[in-house]
Amino acid sequence: MTKTDFVGQFLVGASTALATAIINLVLPGKISWFWLIPAFVVPFTALFLYQGLGPALGFKLHKAWKIRTGELVATAGTQKGDIWEFQPIAEKVPEFYGPCIALPKGKYRAVFRFKIDSRDERDEPICDVGVTSNSGQKWFGHQTISIRDFRQSDEWQDFPLDFNMINDESKVEFRARMADLEKFQRRIMFDKVIVYKRLLPR
């Protein structure tokens, strides 16, 4: 279950109260019609900024998943304490997927948290992430992460992916597929995928 967003509720309530109060003063001529402009512009601006600031503001946390919980399934890789490590191997392409859950319609942001042991400025794809349903038959969002997309080596970084559910979905999965790690001689560590639901449509 998600938590109630009291800040969002307060902004909506305060905006409604402010607009109503100004209209009640404008109609009998107590203040100028000019005040109708800020009565609507200011609240909508505040709501837009609140919504667009990212997962901490404008979204509500839905849930987070790790491979070690068993809800995400990895085809290759090794558990290293609380994280999962994908190494350069020739036998199998490392990837993970899951947890095959139900999500109601709405706008979401999935945040995949990775780090790489060594980065450089090469624009070479190192990982593909996406959101699907029905075992990968239906796609809602996709993003390719390159080596240079990592800001620093050996530092956790969030990669957000926005997606939209126009209908309720019953078998949603978050997927990541590593590139040829043996070719690039890179190790990628995965912490978790975190899902947020947008508070207001846009």
Q: What is the DSSP string of 46-90?
A: HHHHHHHTBTTBSEEEEEEE-GGGTSSEESS-EEETTEEEE---S
Q: Per the structure block, which two tokens stand in for 164?
A: 């939209």
Structural domain contains residue 191: yes
Measured distance CA(148)–CA(155) in Å, rounded: 13
CATH number at residue 101: 2.60.120.260
134 φψ region: left (φ > 0), alpha (ψ -120 to 50), beta (else):
left
175 and 87 in a common domain:
yes
Structural domain contains residue 10: yes
Measured distance CA(59)–CA(75) in Å, rounded: 31
Structural domain contains residue 105: yes
127 and 84 in a common domain:
yes
**Residues written for the chain:** 202
The alpha carbon torsion through 194, 197, 199, 202 (nearest 10 deg) reads 110
**Domain tally, the chain:** 2
Pairing mode of beta strands 188-198, 125-133: unpaired
Q: What is the pLDDT along the chain (202 residues), one digit of tens a residue?
A: 334 445 555 666 677 777 787 788 877 877 777 777 776 676 666 665 555 444 445 677 888 999 877 789 988 888 888 899 988 765 677 889 999 999 999 999 999 999 999 988 888 889 999 999 988 889 999 999 999 999 999 999 999 999 999 999 989 999 999 887 677 788 899 999 999 988 765 5
90 and 143 in a common domain:
yes
72 and 41 in a common domain:
no
Angle at the Cα of 93 from the Cα atoms of 155 and 70, rounded to 5 degrees: 70
Q: Per the structure block, which two tokens stand in for 117?
A: 């042991």
34 and 85 in a common domain:
no
Interacting residues of 46 by C-beta distance below 8 A, sequence separation 6+: 11, 15
Phi, psi of 201 (to 5 degrees): -70, 150
What is residue 121's DSSP assignment?
A: S
112 and 23 in a common domain:
no
Structural domain contains residue 158: yes
Burial of 92 (0-12, 13-18, 19+ CB in 10 A): exposed
102 and 188 in a common domain:
yes
Structural domain contains residue 167: yes
73 and 24 in a common domain:
no
| Under 8 Å between Cβ of 127 and 96 | no
What is residue 55's predicted lDDT score, i.e. its pLDDT? Answer: 43
Structural domain contains residue 1: no
What is residue 6's predicted lDDT score, i.e. its pLDDT? Answer: 52
Residue range of the domain that includes 103:
59-198
120 and 75 in a common domain:
yes
66 and 36 in a common domain:
no
| pTM for the whole structure | 0.70
What is residue 114's predicted lDDT score, i.e. its pLDDT? Answer: 96
